């Protein structure tokens, strides 16, 4: 039974990721990758392995859900240098970006 639950969970995550990717056109995905490298990378390190801000590697982000990460992208982190990106990134785009980070995207 636990194996069945794990497989079902993995399928739901994959379906959710595919739905989010469908909401973000390929050209915008390229723009978001550029933003990740140049804007996020300025604080989180050009390889996203940490700097002023923490690492954004899949291993480091493993304990956090996509929704939590997307909310952090959209709202920022009060009391830290992490700004809110809402003026520049929509919620589906933040979801897409969070999913990419969880999967280990490299800029």
**Where in the chain are the domains?**
2-102
DSSP secondary structure letter of residue 37: I
Q: What pLDDT score was predicted for residue 15?
A: 46
The two structure tokens encoding residue 74: 């959209």
Q: 2-102 — its CATH code? A: 1.10.760.10
Alpha-carbon gap, residue 60 to 8, rounded angstroms:
24
Is 1 exposed, middle or buried (CB count within 10 Å of its CB: 0-12, 13-18, 19+)?
A: exposed
pLDDT in tens, 27-66: 999 999 999 999 999 999 999 999 999 999 999 999 999 9
- Give me the pLDDT at residue 106, please: 78
Closest CA to 69 of 38, 103, 37, 39: 103
pLDDT digits 0-9 by tens, 66-102 = 999 999 999 999 999 999 999 999 999 999 999 999 9
């Amino acid at each position: 039974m636990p194996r069945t639950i794990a497989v079902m969970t993995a399928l739901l995550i994959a379906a959710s990721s595919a739905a989010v990717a469908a909401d973000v056109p390929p050209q915008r995905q390229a723009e978001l990758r550029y933003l990740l490298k140049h804007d996020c990378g300025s604080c989180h390190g050009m390889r996203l392995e940490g700097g002023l801000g923490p690492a954004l590697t899949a291993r480091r982000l493993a304990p956090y859900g996509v929704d939590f990460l997307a909310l952090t992208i959209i709202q920022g982190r009060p009391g830290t240098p992490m700004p809110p990106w809402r003026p520049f990134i929509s919620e589906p785009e933040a979801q897409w970006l969070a999913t990419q980070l969880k999967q280990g995207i490299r800029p």
